[in-house]
Structure 1
Amino acid sequence: MACNVTASLGVARAPVATAAATRAAAPSFAGAKVSLTSVASRAGAPVAAAPLRAVRGARAAARRSSTRVMAAAGGMNCLIVNTKGGGHAFIGLYLARALMAKGHKVTLMNDGDEAKLSSKGCYAQYPALAGEGATVCWGNPTDPSTYPAGDFDVVYDNNGKDIDTCKPLIDTYKGKVQHYVFVSSAGMLKASDVTPNLTEDDPRNEKAHYFVEEYLKDEGLPYTVMRPHYIYGEHTVKDCEQWFMDRILRDRPVPIPAPGTQLTSISHVEDVAEMLALVPGCEAAKGEIFQLCGDKAITFDGLVQCIAEAAGKTPKIVHYDHAAAGLAKGEGIPFRTGHFFSSNGKAHVKLGFKGKHTFSGDVKDRIASYIASGRLDKDVDFSADDKIIANA
């Protein structure tokens, strides 16, 4: 059964308390204040006459749903431990907002040096996030003495990439939380040219995230594992669509690994956050792994064509043999060069997830954001491109 309580059961949310009342009632931590948002549920419509078995099934479903509604109505206390860099960095910001929109209380602890990071990308949005009601602080995920005080119902680990990094957080909250959510990576799965559509049960590379997933199982935590693919959207600190725009908006050729029809999953960060935010109170999510991606995959050539069309440009694609190009690490397209895509069907069924974004629907907004950032006026190093194109 899907656990999308708000969508399926019509949960209504009461207005946020006044600013004065919120300040008086909310505890402060690291300069941030928490605003408490209550959620009230509307009474359901009467059950129509039906065969006895159907009625019993409906009543049982109603009892299960009622439990989830009460959890949402009271709100859960959620801790997000967020990474200091990489493609997952802005998940914490959007997840915090998605959880608060569902009536949950949020504390976000970010790894890293606040002085060095606080002016960059998603981290620069933290003062606004605190003003919206979250508690924001900085700490070291490997040092429990830096964790925020208090008890939490749900912990999200959006930081760890190996067991040494993740174990202190897991051990600290083992037996103390209702749900533990680990943001893993779809990149841990072994690619296959025969069956390229990655699934939750595909063989994994036995390194890094693999050992964290296994530890969660072995320790008996009420865990859920989410494996994101590539993520795009505002406030990222790692290139995704920007790499393509660097070239297309400057009327430069775009070097694409041949044949260009490789499928990849890219997802808007709001959809990623929404899927993660559906976990609290969802018993069906416990002990499960989900591929965290958008509803549709897109080809490399399709990305170029989509951006070019939205920008009013003529795409210039140069296909090349990536294996023979002699590129250094980090040079070339910022994606894996083969197929890298999944289905999110399991999340639709078990979580009630419904994605709102498509890249084609978002591309004009992403171009506008790129231009507004001033990046089009900055110098970009195209030396790797020139090397590729010269030998293509």
Structure 2
Amino acid sequence: MIKSLVTGGAGFIGSHVAKHLIDAGHEVYVLDDLSGGFKSNIPDQAHFMEGSILDHQLLEKLFAEQKFDYVYHLAAYAAEGLSHFIKRFNYQNNLTGSVNLLNESIKNQVKCFVFTSSIAIYGDLPTPMTEEMTPQPEDPYGIAKWAFEQELAVSKKMFGQDYIIFRPHNVYGEGQNISDPYRNVLGIFMKQILEEKPLTIFGDGSQTRAFSHISEVAPVIAESVNHPAAFGETFNIGSDQTSSVHELAQMILEAFDSTLAIEFLPERMEVKHAHASHDKLKRFFKIPKECKLEEGIKKMAHWAKKQGLKAGKKFDEIEIYKNLPSSWK
């Protein structure tokens, strides 16, 4: 049986990838520190180990004992805007931890290392962003992701370690942590509605993104290792449908049949427009059926109303308070 490790498998995308792997016949091991995920997300058939990718001794023992065929690295703290104010935390979790995993993958001859990066690596480059562009990240989160992408390329040359890189963007859907105040705008809006608070938007809401339902992303990541032609390649992955943040807020209010107000906060430093081309992805993989944003929001809203709010771990790792948005203090 194929044996695969999924880091961040108690989190949102990671748990969905783990489910698809189990359905495909993999024996799945989930490693997660539960800082942003929940045990309830983990598939029953998966072997769960609570631990951090920063614990290199734990990783050494785990890899030596299990001899994984594949590693799916989805553990990350994906708060782009906040990453300016948590630089040490960001680089430790999104770069150093990733290197720890790569070291063990090389030493234990993992067949392919599948890494979820982010279109944050493009920064403010013109849209649609393509894989041929030279990344210009504008926040520490994007810098960390881009640095590790380069490390994967170097390690393939030096050690022959195969990899596949995916650059997802604004993924949402059932199972998402909607209690995190710093990331996942759909989750933030839904939490505010459930708490009967105004929906808060930084700036005027004209920022555009391509919000991607989990059903458009997780299946492709899970089955990617079945395509050797994709080894050593990088792919944007997600929706082709773009919407403004203000339009998104209106759609979510409609899905909840809510008349709550929208509150506009001072603009923060962020990329104005971010959406990517998926032409390369379509040449390598069979793409799942598109999930229109309105449909995906309805699915997630139904799930959110049914499961309610879960108390997540409080994040208290702020390192720099200068210029921190007042709503985050």
Same fold (TM > 0.5): yes
Q: Are 1:169 and 2:105 an aligned pair?
A: no
Mind listing any 5+ residue stretches in structure 1 that lack a counterpart? 1-74, 324-328, 330-335, 377-386
Q: Secondary structure at the match of 2:205?
A: coil
2:130 to 199, 220, 237: 199
Which structure is larger by alpha-carbon Rg, 1 or 2?
1
1:282 to partner: Cα distance: 0.5
1:267 to partner: Cα distance: 1.8
Q: Secondary structure at the match of 1:174?
A: helix
Q: Is the 8 A contact 2:9 2:30 kept in 1?
A: no
Q: Are 1:232 and 2:162 an aligned pair?
A: no
Distance in structure 2 (CA, Å) of the matches to 1:359 and 1:146: 43
Q: Secondary structure at the match of 2:235?
A: strand
Q: Aligned letter for 2:296?
A: D
Residue 5 of structure 2 aligns with which residue? 79
Q: Is the 8 A contact 2:115 2:164 kept in 1?
A: yes
Q: Is the 8 A contact 2:8 2:37 kept in 1?
A: no
1:136-285 pair list within 5 angstroms = 136-141=48-53, 142-143=56-57, 144-148=59-63, 149-159=65-75, 161-174=93-106, 176-192=109-125, 195-202=126-133, 203-205=135-137, 207-220=143-156, 221-237=161-177, 238=180, 239-247=184-192, 253-285=198-230
Residue 134 of structure 1 aligns with which residue? 46
Distance in structure 2 (CA, Å) of the matches to 1:215 and 1:246: 37
1:283 to partner: Cα distance: 1.3
Q: Is the 8 A contact 2:29 2:47 kept in 1?
A: yes
1:236 to partner: Cα distance: 2.0
Residue 293 of structure 2 aligns with which residue? 359
Change (3 A) 1:271 1:244: same
Q: Is the 8 A contact 1:304 1:315 kept in 2?
A: no
Q: Aligned letter for 1:80?
A: V
Change (3 A) 1:281 1:244: same
Once the two structures are superposed, residues 268-316 of structure 1 have per-residue CA deviations (whole angstroms, 9 ceiling, x without a partner) of 2233211201211211211111112223222112212212233334574
1:317 to partner: Cα distance: 4.4
TM-score relative to the length of structure 1: 0.62
Once the two structures are superposed, residues 173-204 of structure 1 have per-residue CA deviations (whole angstroms, 9 ceiling, x without a partner) of 22712211111222122213xx2332223323
1:52-131 pair list within 5 angstroms = 76-82=2-8, 89-110=11-32, 112=33, 117=34, 121-126=37-42, 129-130=43-44
Distance in structure 2 (CA, Å) of the matches to 1:247 and 1:258: 18
Distance in structure 1 (CA, Å) of the matches to 2:257 and 2:130: 37
Q: Is the 8 A contact 2:124 2:271 kept in 1?
A: no
1:257 to partner: Cα distance: 4.3
Change (3 A) 1:354 1:346: farther
Shifted more, 279-288 versus 261-270: the winner is: 261-270
Q: Secondary structure at the match of 2:38?
A: helix
Q: Secondary structure at the match of 1:235?
A: coil
1:241 to partner: Cα distance: 1.5
TM-score relative to the length of structure 2: 0.72
Q: Secondary structure at the match of 1:366?
A: helix
Change (3 A) 1:297 1:315: farther
1:95 to partner: Cα distance: 0.6
Q: Secondary structure at the match of 1:207?
A: helix
Q: Is the 8 A contact 2:118 2:169 kept in 1?
A: yes
Distance in structure 1 (CA, Å) of the matches to 2:60 and 2:199: 48
Change (3 A) 1:97 1:305: same
Distance in structure 2 (CA, Å) of the matches to 1:255 and 1:123: 29
The number of residue pairs the alignment matches comes to: 277
Residue 305 of structure 2 aligns with which residue? 371
Identity of matched residues, %? 25
Shifted more, 355-364 versus 180-189: the winner is: 355-364
Q: Secondary structure at the match of 2:224?
A: coil
Distance in structure 1 (CA, Å) of the matches to 2:261 and 2:204: 14
Distance in structure 1 (CA, Å) of the matches to 2:195 and 2:100: 47
Distance in structure 2 (CA, Å) of the matches to 1:341 and 1:82: 25
Shifted more, 269-278 versus 213-222: the winner is: 269-278
Cα RMSD between the aligned structures?
3.1
1:224 to partner: Cα distance: 0.7
